Chain A
Amino acid sequence: EPEVTQTPSHQVTQMGQEVILRCVPISNHLYFYWYRQILGQKVEFLVSFYNNEISEKSEIFDDQFSVERPDGSNFTLKIRSTKLEDSAMYFCASSGTQDQPQHFGDGTRLSIL
């Protein structure tokens, strides 16, 4: 069964550094999402992406965050200058249409020191 893949599985970074989290969505999916989950808490929406542009973003997704689909397969989340509170699991998800279920990757655990 096709799946969403994310790399790296764990990223440790000094505060203030830039990080790029990578995702390869399911190949025929058109809608892409980033979510994050702080340890022990619920999954929170960050941003959705369709047709090569952001369709919606949450208040968490401030100017330090950006997303990109640099080629036909990858979908990246960049945090320009990381803060301690950015430490969380970051999940990428994709769906075929807006109404179809979203399939999640294994996540990247981001640890900011």
Chain B
Amino acid sequence: GQQVMQIPQYQHVQEGEDFTTYCNSSTTLSNIQWYKQRPGGHPVFLIQLVKSGEVKKQKRLTFQFGEAKKNSSLHITATQTTDVGTYFCAGPDNQGGKLIFGQGTELSVKP
């Protein structure tokens, strides 16, 4: 079945360092969505990418969607302790609206 893989599973950085998480789908996606989940919290929608090769920025966060619309990345510049959490990518199923989530990358930031 359709799968969304994400690496790394964990990333520990010093505050101020950059962070990147990578997402790869087994199939071409119509769009990709990124969510952030704080410990004990719920997934919070960050952004949706739709176009091939699209790049979007939100302050220190840069999101990319690959040309083939099968991979994506999230890059955080100069991490802060408030960035702590698990970042999930998710793509819609080929047949409908359900989201297939990646395993998530848990980011911890040491002050």
**Interface residue A91 (Cβ < 8 Å from any Cβ of B):** yes
Known contacts A48-B98, A99-B97; decide if A106 and B41 are in contact (CB<8 Å).
yes
**CB-defined contacts of A99 to chain B, threshold 8 Å:** 30-31, 92, 97
Which residue of chain B lies nearest to A46 when distances are taken between CB atoms in the complex? B98
Which residue of chain B lies nearest to A33 when distances are taken between CB atoms in the complex? B98
**Interface residue B68 (Cβ < 8 Å from any Cβ of A):** no
**Dominant secondary structure at the B interface:** loop
Contact with B along A74-88 (1 / 0, CB 8 A): 000000000000000
Question: Taking each of B33, B48, B95, B99, which has the highest tally of chain A beta carbons within 10 Å of its own beta carbon?
Answer: B99
Interface residue total, chain B, C-beta cutoff 8 A: 24
Inter-chain CA distance A101–B101, complex, in Å, is: 13
Q: A106 and B93: CB pair below 8 A?
A: no
Q: B43 and A48: CB pair below 8 A?
A: no
**CB-defined contacts of A98 to chain B, threshold 8 Å:** 92, 96-97
Which residue of chain A lies nearest to B47 when distances are taken between CB atoms in the complex? A101
Specify which of B31, B43, B97, B104 is in contact with A104 (CB 8 Å cutoff): B43
Question: Taking each of B35, B44, B97, B99, which has the highest tally of chain A beta carbons within 10 Å of its own beta carbon?
Answer: B97
Contact with B along A52-68 (1 / 0, CB 8 A): 00011010000000000
**Interface residue A44 (Cβ < 8 Å from any Cβ of B):** yes
Which residue of chain A lies nearest to B30 when distances are taken between CB atoms in the complex? A99
Using a CB–CB cutoff of 8 Å, the interface residues on chain A facing chain B are 31, 33, 35, 41-45, 48, 55-56, 58, 89, 91, 95, 98-107
Using a CB–CB cutoff of 8 Å, the interface residues on chain B facing chain A are 30-31, 33, 35, 41-45, 48, 88, 90, 92-93, 95-104
9 other contacts beyond A42-B104, A101-B33, A102-B45, with CB at 8 A cut-off? A42-B101, A43-B101, A45-B98, A45-B99, A100-B48, A101-B48, A104-B42, A104-B44, A106-B42
